[in-house]
Structure 1
């Protein structure tokens, strides 16, 4: 891991989780995001026992742009 990523995994989870409004009101079945020092934590509300993944702003921005552009839509077919 790079030094930048190492710092993300050292950052405390001191903020509030933000959950998608698309989770159909089921607060325990969604992806959740938290802003942390230097980036973002991504967790699974169904598995709070697992450590969240951590991403830099550039990594999260690249993913969101790709998702909005439909680059992952084919994964939902099936």
Structure 2
């Protein structure tokens, strides 16, 4: 498995699907996708390659992560 580079998120433009506390935020930085919890932005973000992000999004759309 390839190691991802250290990515500087200091100037990342975080995007959110809602305005609520604790919501998921994403940022597109240096060809990668960073995801964090907006309610705890000091906790390190999860970094995805474009391929990993694509698999994650399609899995979510297909209900693979539905815990109900």
TM-score bin (small chain): 0.7 to 0.9
Q: Which residue of 2 aligns with 1:16?
A: 13
Give the TM-score normalised by the residue count of structure 1.
0.75
**Structure 1 moving runs of 4+ over 2 Å:** none
Find the aligned partners of 1:69 and 1:34 in 2 and give their Cα distance: 23
Residue 67 of structure 1 aligns with which residue?
60
More helix, by proportion = 1
CA radius of gyration, larger in: 1
SS in 2 for 1:34: strand
TM-score normalized with structure 2 length: 0.84
- Name which structure has the greater RCO, CA cutoff 8 Å, separation 6+: 1
- Report the RMSD for the aligned CA atoms in angstroms: 1.5
Gaps of 5+ in 2: none
1:68 Cα deviation from its structure 2 partner: 0.6
> What are the ranges of 5 or more consecutive residues in structure 1 without an aligned counterpart?
none
Counting matched residue pairs gives 67
